[in-house]
């Protein structure tokens, strides 16, 4: 029996849907990202949205959900592995953010559709399920939409949670939901969580331990071959117009309030070393804001999208999406943003560390503190309290070849040691998918 609050949630969504659909045409006049692909959020898909999918009877459909850019990058690795391991499956990716959707569309093959996830309302969910007809549903990390998940479970669709994690703050919020969250989580057939701490937190929400596997983080499994790495680095440094004597400080995934601090670091360091700064804001919609900041500081800059080997400025503004993970290879000193201010909680530092360069990050790494501790302990990562410490560390590494080389080696070895999560989580997918395929004829291609 479903909790009363879940039924109330369902009723509110049922009543709101007609109103939301009525005002949907007006959303295009609002600022921001609300109107983006909103018809798909309502569960309304054009023929072209899912046209590349064959019938369910022909092959299993795997619905993978990845909320935003970070999860999409993990999803791309997972989808590639699914195609390699199960060539007859047909994956469908859904997102909830414009940036994540745009990144996925730019990277996915033509026969893998990417849609915006339906609103968590009965009619939107039912329409989406009729259109997608999933054989298996995979949720990456922890975006738990109660109505969608309970409906999938009710319809007998096997569900997996991969790369699962729960922060201490999220745990407190989920515990306030009581039986609702327990009911939703119990619908998952299997769960692969990132760490033992994540397992303990899910267990506190009522998930049976025998359903969970501590499998590590898929985001740490970005492929890297040593010979290929050298080619990528040389290619990108050539595109950036970096001379052999020039060193590059790459500040990736920065947020508002961080860029001004990092520009001060750059100015101080540039006074006594041939330094080029690459600044990559986390969100593309902030590019105009960062441009205004650079102009206000009197700093000439080049846009990365326009560079083809000639650069007339010491600052490069990375104005493209999805390139940062490889662009880190061109750097000599790598700073991962989202970590300097108390309201932030860090980003994936292993995607920088895998290139074998010192990685720096601020004091606020709540979502990635485990990775930060690993890198710091190994000597390849450096958690700084402020930009003064950051400046001093970079200068120290620039002045000492031996200390710098040790940090580079430690960063790369630590990143490599964390790989293998994808293989472990794919084993769970195989278990659930084989059961789903056995049930396929009984469903007659409909769910």
In this structure, the answer to whether residues 136 and 243 fall within a common structural domain is: no
Beta carbons of 328 and 250 less than 8 angstroms apart: yes
Residue 336 and residue 205 share a domain: no
Share of the chain above pLDDT 90, in %: 74
pLDDT of residue 367: 87
246 is a domain residue: yes
Asked whether residue 184 is domain-assigned, the answer is yes
| Residues 37 and 49 reside in one and the same domain | yes
Query: What is the average per-residue pLDDT within 38-50?
Result: 89
Q: Is 71 a catalytic residue?
A: yes
- SS3 assignment for the chain: CCCHHHHHHHHHHHHHHHHHHHHHHHHHHCCCCCCCCHHHHCCCCCHHHCCCCCCCCCCCEEEEECCCHHHHHHHHHHHHHHHHHCCCCEEEEEECCHHHHHHHHHHCCCCCCEEECCCCCHHHHHHHHHHHCCCEEEEECCCCCHHHHHHHHHCCCCEEEEEECCCHHHHHHHHHCCHHHHHHHCCCCEEEECCHHHHHHHHHCCCCHHHEEECCCHHHHCCCCHHHHHHHHHHHHHHCCCCCCCEEEEEEEECCCCHHHHHHHHHHHHCCCCEEEEEEECCHHHHHHHHHHHHHCCCCEEEHHHCCCCCCCCEEECCCCCCHHHHHHHCCEEEECCCCCCCCCCCCCHHHHCCCCCEEECCCCHHHHHHHHHHHHHCCEEECCCHHHHHHHHHHHHHCHHHHHHHHHHHHHHHHHCCCHHHHHHHHHHHHHHHHHHHHHHHCCCC
Residue 412 maps to a domain: yes
Tell me: pLDDT of 22 over 70. yes
40-65 core/surface letters (b: 16 or more CB in 10 A; e: else): bbbbbbeeebbeebeebeebbbbbbb
The reply to whether 196 and 239 lie within a common domain is no
Domain of 52, CATH number, reads: 3.40.50.11720
Q: Same structural domain for residues 347 and 383?
A: yes
pLDDT in the model for residue 390: 98
Same domain, 274 and 157: no
Residues 154 and 237 in one domain: no
Instruction: Kindly tell me if the per-residue pLDDT of 445 is higher than 70.
Output: no
Same domain membership, residue 434 and residue 314: no
CB atoms within 10 A of CB 244: 5
* 407: CATH: 3.40.50.2000
Residue 96 lies in a domain: yes
Decide if pLDDT at 224 tops 80: no
* Domain membership flag for residue 5: no
Q: Are residues 279 and 373 in the same domain?
A: yes
Instruction: Provide the pLDDT for residue 442.
Output: 44
Q: Are 300 and 248 in a shared domain? A: yes
Tokens 């950051």 -> residue? 390
Are the C-beta atoms of 308 and 239 separated by less than 8 Å?
yes
What pLDDT does 52 receive?
Answer: 73
State phi, psi for 193 to the nearest 5 degrees. -110, 160
- Taking the CA atoms of residue 224, residue 225, residue 231 and residue 232 in that order, the dihedral angle to the nearest 10 degrees is -10
* Residues 195 and 250 reside in one and the same domain: no
6 domain-assigned: no
What is the overall mean pLDDT for the chain?
A: 91
When pLDDT is averaged across residues 321-333 and rounded to a whole number, the result is 95
Residue of higher predicted confidence among 218 and 60: 218
Residue 201 has pLDDT above 50, yes or no: yes
Q: Closest Cα to residue 154, out of 132, 187, 177? A: 187
Q: What total of structural domains would you count in the chain? A: 2
pLDDT at 26: 86
Query: Structural domain of residue 108, as residue ranges?
Result: 24-216+420-438
- Residue 326 vs residue 29, higher pLDDT: 326
Pick the catalytic residue from 7, 71, 413, 431.
Answer: 71
Q: Is the pLDDT of residue 57 over 60?
A: no
Round to whole Å and give the CA distance between 366 and 339.
Answer: 9
Q: According to the model, what pLDDT value does residue 2 have? A: 67
pLDDT band at 261 (very low <50, low <70, confident <90, very high): very high
Q: Is residue 344 part of a domain?
A: yes
Same domain, 125 and 177: yes
Question: Do 158 and 139 touch, CB atoms closer than 8 A?
Answer: no
């Amino acid at each position: 029996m479903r909790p009363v609050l879940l039924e109330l949630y369902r009723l509110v969504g049922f009543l709101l849907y007609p109103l939301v659909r009525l005002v949907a045409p007006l959303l295009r006049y609002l600022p921001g990202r609300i109107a983006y692909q909103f018809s798909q959020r309502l569960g309304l898909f054009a023929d072209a949205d899912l046209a590349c999918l064959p019938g369910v009877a022909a092959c299993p459909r795997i619905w993978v959900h990845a909320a935003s850019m970070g999860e999409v990058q993990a999803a791309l690795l997972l989808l590639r592995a699914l195609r390699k391991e199960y060539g007859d499956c047909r994956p469908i990716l859904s997102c909830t953010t414009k940036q994540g959707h745009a990144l996925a569309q730019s990277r996915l093959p033509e026969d893998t559709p990417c849609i915006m996830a339906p609103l968590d309302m009965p009619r939107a969910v039912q329409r989406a399920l009729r259109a997608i007809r999933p054989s298996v549903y995979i949720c990456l990390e922890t975006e738990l939409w109660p109505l969608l998940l309970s409906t999938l479970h009710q319809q007998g669709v096997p569900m997996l949670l991969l790369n699962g994690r729960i922060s201490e703050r999220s745990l407190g919020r989920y515990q306030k939901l009581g039986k609702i969250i327990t009911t939703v989580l119990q619908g998952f057939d299997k769960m692969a969580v990132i760490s033992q701490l994540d397992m303990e937190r899910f267990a506190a929400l009522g998930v049976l331990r025998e359903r969970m596997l501590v499998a590590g983080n898929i985001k740490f499994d970005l492929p890297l071959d040593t010979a290929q790495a050298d080619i990528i680095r040389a290619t990108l440094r050539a595109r950036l117009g970096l001379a052999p004597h020039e060193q590059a400080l790459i500040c990736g995934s920065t947020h508002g309030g961080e860029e001004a601090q990092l520009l001060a670091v750059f100015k101080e360091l540039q006074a006594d070393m041939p330094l080029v700064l690459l600044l990559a804001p986390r969100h593309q919609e902030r590019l105009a804001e960062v441009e205004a900041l650079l102009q206000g500081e009197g700093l000439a800059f080049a846009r990365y999208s326009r560079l083809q080997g000639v650069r007339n400025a010491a600052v490069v503004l990375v104005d493209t999406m999805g390139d940062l993970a490889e662009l880190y290879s061109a750097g000599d000193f790598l700073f991962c943003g989202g970590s300097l201010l108390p309201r932030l909680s860090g980003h994936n530092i292993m995607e920088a560390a895998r290139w074998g360069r010192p990685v720096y990050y601020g004091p606020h790494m709540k979502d990635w503190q485990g990775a930060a501790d690993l890198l710091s302990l190994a000597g390849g990562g450096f958690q700084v309290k402020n930009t003064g410490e950051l400046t001093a560390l970079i200068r120290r590494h620039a002045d000492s070849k031996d200390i710098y080389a040790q940090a580079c080696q430690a960063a790369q070895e630590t990143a490599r040691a964390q790989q293998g999560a994808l293989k472990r989580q794919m084993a769970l997918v195989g278990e659930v998918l084989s059961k789903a395929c056995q049930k396929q004829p009984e469903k007659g291609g409909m769910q």
